[in-house]
A and B are shown apart, each in its own frame.
Chain A
Amino acid sequence: MIVTFTVNGESRVANVAGDESLLTVLREQLGLPGSKNACEQGECGSCSVIMDGALVTSCLVMAADCEGSDVTTVEGIGNDRELNAIQQALLDHGAVQCGFCTPGFVVAATHLFDYNPHPTSDEIKEALSGNICRCTGYGAILRGLEELAEGSA
């Protein structure tokens, strides 16, 4: 089935099988491996993307349902020359170890700060509780985002 949708501001076309997830199509067809496959059950958040304004786990979205949608992946949030504020905050606070969860955290935190630029610590924890990090124990992620929440206008 041919699906046409917008990914990171560009119109993209994918030929998808009936049972293929958005995650598989992003990684295997569209050359966007930044979204990570870690559980394929929507439990870990490593494949988080923003779809039509909502934060979703792309492993649980059927690619066939994406017709006409607007999807933002980690690749659409910042790049090596110009990091967004979330990416910079995570880097500055040592919130990246193995980094496999990091794209998901970047997307989820970007979504949080988009609608709540000054989240409290409890709001940050709750908003990111669907993203599992096995390396950091979340401390450095929290410190980075807390500083951003206090500092951002």
Chain B
Amino acid sequence: MTAGLTTKKRVRGGVGESPQRIDGIPKVTGNFAYASDLYATGMLWGATLRSPHPHARIVKLDTSPALAIGGVVTVLTQDDVPGRDGFGMHVPDQPVFAYGECNYWGEPIAVVVASDLPTAKLGVEAIDIEYELLEPLTDMEEADRLDSQTRRMKIRRGDLTVSGEVVAEGYYEVGQQDQAPLGNEAGLAIPDGEGGVDLFAVSQWVHSDHMQIFPCLDLEPEQVRCHPVGMGGAFGAREDVSMHIHLCLAALRTGRPVKMVYDRAESFVGHVHRHPARMWYRHEADRSGKLVKVEARVILDGGAYESSSNAVIANAAYFAVGPYKCDNVSVDAVVVRTNNPPAGAMRGFGGVQTAYAHEAQMDLLGAEVGLEPLQIRRINALGSGDQMNTSGQLIEGPLPTTELIDELAAMPLAGPLDSTDPRHLPGGTGLTTDPRHVRRGIGYGVTIKNLAFSEAFDDYTDVRIVLTPMGVEVHTAACEVGQGMVTVIQQLAREVLQIEQVAVVWADTSEIGSAGSTSASRQSQMTGGATYQCAVELRDQILSEYGGDELTGDGIWKDGQLVVTLAEVCALRPPTHELRYRHPETFVTDENGQGSPHPAWAVAAHRAVVDVDPELGLIKVVQIDAVHDVGRLLNPVAALGQVEGGTAQGIGLATLEELVVVDGVIKNANFTDYLLPTFLDMPHVEVRWVEEPERWGPLGAKGIGEPPTISSGPAVAAAIRDAVGRHLHRVPVLPQHIVGV
């Protein structure tokens, strides 16, 4: 390549296309290395002793019988934690190992490190431990009465003495959902021989792990390095520390690499779950159906430790009314502390629970005033320039609720039931469903979610872009959990730099600053925004240095002539630029929840068509139609995958998925009894996009990870109600709720 070239190539794989994922080939061939596939020479295995009681006092703990087993190298308990005794996303309230008391079923008490996994498990069995049973606190309303809480949220807006002529009241419950990522928790810790440790463990946010780990190890921050790794999904389950500190302690103690992998049963107690909810609602409207006042009381069960409950309850409260205008709002929301399994992040993060309630309430109101579901939603639709119904925050960016509703109304409805093929009936090939009795229902869900972190959290993401003769390197600690962020980063860098070859380089916590969490629908906007901005600044610096007017993979151009090649630009030193990207500032609200807590929102609208066998209580979701507020569509295939996958998780919570917790004990911690949607449970999902660019983020793109999980479930629940004509107040809707209609 020489200067003087006059023909420019437009780069492939930029914004708006759907290029193949970088990790696609290794994933289809089985060569992709997940955390559970990592090996190191001389590595040991760890296994965890967990509490068999939801609340108990440890009266005896003798690890010597485990140490007597050949192959057992060491046993770790809280006595072996040299630094701070606990960890936590928000406050370090969870002990590294339970000591004194166990506060939930499955809480870690000790880790046995051995030459192989079966021996480590034998060691766990051998530990001599005795408990004195204590009464567990497992009812969320009792916990509320006892003021056993992590955070109370009070929202008071407008004049709460006003009343409307039309009233809808309802009580709602949401069961506890598990993220159930296919890849279980796994990790490998490798001592560095100088007193420090490198950790390769599942994570949605390595810098948050790092901040929680090193104080417990009593090490300097730079002595602990957390590396992004290959992960089999996350959905919130990887935002908290699980085995991380145990692994580091084990590696430092033994001086050898140590690996841990939870099996499925252990995974069910090894990560936090979605908060189960109870909700009491009263909506008042005028005769035309316009909201006058909404009052809500919400309890979420946070389980034994805080995790991210303080932020989950904020979302539940701020989005308690949905995307509807209302000037008079009262919300009392509390997340309580019990001896149930700890709850924390899961896709939708507090918005999922209250969405079930506010959407059922809108249907009740619509029925009262004689409006169809989409009509009652449309006349109340919240939009740009309005004030958020709960916080009073001015909505400065786009919020196309009305456009979504109109687009959804225009989508064609699913056709009639094909009763000749039992595979299309609720009962499936068991030939159990009598097609003459099948009832069809249609329901809607229109919901709102904040994007990125809120309430004055210093939410930022660091990236570094390096230009080399081989192409572009984007260095980031952002965790790819499967959603395809790596591809979006490539596309944005290509779009700006017009260089096709873009490598995304995973950097550990010592090599680059935080990218923030892969959660809150934030990475396309935050790490994507950082990549875009960093690429623009790097490009402009180089062009300015060489007096050029355009950069491509060939080099720098001026007036249509190549003036210097990329190799020449990179010859002295690879041009490098690093940038910290922040979204607009957010604020803590006042004692009435009033203020500007959120940087942006996305709305979503779903329509569900279901067929129900009322005799057997079986449900078949026939079709889902969805419209999403994406700001700018960066990668159509990836965005569609987020909507389809998020919808599946919404259908799961609406019809199948619930952790059955009895007296603090999970009764179905396995995939035989915790039911996930299969191929046969998923209908066709038809998706439309509304593109109104956001004020910030790359080219106005909005996050798309969580919205489909929030709006799909309420639509399905509404469709089932429509089919059976009963006010079903609880999800998942199970056969026993339907039969006998």
B255 CB within 8 Å of chain A = no
B484 / chain A contacts, CB cutoff of 8 Å: 94, 97
Cβ–Cβ contact B638 & A99, under 8 A: no
Query: Which of B22-30, B316-324, B336-344 binds A?
Result: B22-30
Chain B residue, CB-CB nearest to A124: B679
A32 / chain B contacts, CB cutoff of 8 Å: 30
A138 CB within 8 Å of chain B = yes
The 8 A CB mask of A83-94 against B (1 = contact, 0 = none) is 100010011111
Contact A132-B421, Cβ < 8 Å, known A80-B25, A80-B29: no
A5 CB within 8 Å of chain B = no
The 8 A CB mask of A117-150 against B (1 = contact, 0 = none) is 0000010111011111111111111100000000
Cβ–Cβ contact A122 & B423, under 8 A: yes
Contact A137-B647, Cβ < 8 Å, known A38-B264, A100-B34: yes
Residue from B36, B640, B679 in contact with A94 in the complex, judged by beta carbons closer than 8 Å:
B640
Residue of A77, A135, A142 with highest tally of chain B CB at under 10 A: A135
Cβ–Cβ contact B182 & A134, under 8 A: yes
Residue from A33, A106, A135, A139 in contact with B28 in the complex, judged by beta carbons closer than 8 Å:
A106
A58 CB within 8 Å of chain B = no
B678 / chain A contacts, CB cutoff of 8 Å: 129-132
- Cα–Cα distance between A116 and B27 once the two chains are bound (Å): 25
CB distance from B24 to the nearest CB of A (A): 5
B680 CB within 8 Å of chain A = yes
Cβ–Cβ contact A39 & B25, under 8 A: no
Cβ–Cβ contact A102 & B648, under 8 A: no
- Cα–Cα distance between A99 and B649 once the two chains are bound (Å): 17
CB distance from A63 to the nearest CB of B (A): 14
Cβ–Cβ contact B645 & A137, under 8 A: yes
CB distance from B402 to the nearest CB of A (A): 27
Contact A37-B36, Cβ < 8 Å, known A44-B182, A98-B181, A134-B181: yes
Chain B residue, CB-CB nearest to A104: B182
Cβ–Cβ contact A136 & B644, under 8 A: yes
- Cα–Cα distance between A111 and B182 once the two chains are bound (Å): 22
Contact A137-B482, Cβ < 8 Å, known A33-B37, A40-B263, A99-B27: no
The 8 A CB mask of B632-660 against A (1 = contact, 0 = none) is 00000110110111111100000000000
A100 / chain B contacts, CB cutoff of 8 Å: 34, 181-183, 232-233, 482
Cβ–Cβ contact B264 & A94, under 8 A: no
B166 CB within 8 Å of chain A = no
Cβ–Cβ contact B34 & A94, under 8 A: no
Cβ–Cβ contact B645 & A99, under 8 A: no
Cβ–Cβ contact A134 & B180, under 8 A: yes
Query: Which of B128-136, B453-461, B669-677 binds A?
Result: B669-677
The 8 A CB mask of B10-52 against A (1 = contact, 0 = none) is 0000000010110111111111111011000000000000000
CB distance from B313 to the nearest CB of A (A): 26
B685 CB within 8 Å of chain A = yes
A152 / chain B contacts, CB cutoff of 8 Å: none
A73 / chain B contacts, CB cutoff of 8 Å: 30
Residue from B182, B645, B679 in contact with A125 in the complex, judged by beta carbons closer than 8 Å:
B679
Cβ–Cβ contact B264 & A40, under 8 A: yes
B interface bracket (residues with beta carbon within 8 Å of A): 35 or more
B551 CB within 8 Å of chain A = no
B214 CB within 8 Å of chain A = no
A101 / chain B contacts, CB cutoff of 8 Å: 182
- Cα–Cα distance between A87 and B476 once the two chains are bound (Å): 29
B74 / chain A contacts, CB cutoff of 8 Å: none
B25 / chain A contacts, CB cutoff of 8 Å: 80, 83, 91
Cβ–Cβ contact A98 & B233, under 8 A: yes
- Cα–Cα distance between A137 and B624 once the two chains are bound (Å): 12
B481 CB within 8 Å of chain A = yes
A87 / chain B contacts, CB cutoff of 8 Å: 28-29
B235 CB within 8 Å of chain A = yes
Cβ–Cβ contact B641 & A80, under 8 A: no
The 8 A CB mask of B399-427 against A (1 = contact, 0 = none) is 00000000000000000000001010000
B315 CB within 8 Å of chain A = no
- Cα–Cα distance between A125 and B646 once the two chains are bound (Å): 19
B481 / chain A contacts, CB cutoff of 8 Å: 98
A interface, CB within 8 angstroms of B: 17, 27, 32-41, 43-44, 46, 73-75, 77-80, 83, 87, 90-94, 96-103, 106, 122, 124-126, 128-142
* 23 A-B residue pairings within 8 Å (CB atoms): A33-B30, A77-B29, A79-B29, A83-B29, A96-B23, A97-B233, A98-B232, A99-B32, A100-B233, A126-B680, A130-B678, A131-B678, A134-B181, A134-B182, A134-B648, A135-B182, A135-B233, A137-B644, A137-B646, A138-B682, A139-B641, A139-B685, A140-B637
Given contacts A27-B37, A98-B232, A138-B682, 19 further A-B contacts (CB under 8 A): A38-B182, A38-B184, A39-B670, A78-B28, A83-B25, A87-B28, A90-B28, A91-B24, A94-B18, A94-B641, A96-B27, A97-B641, A100-B482, A106-B28, A129-B679, A134-B649, A134-B676, A137-B677, A137-B685
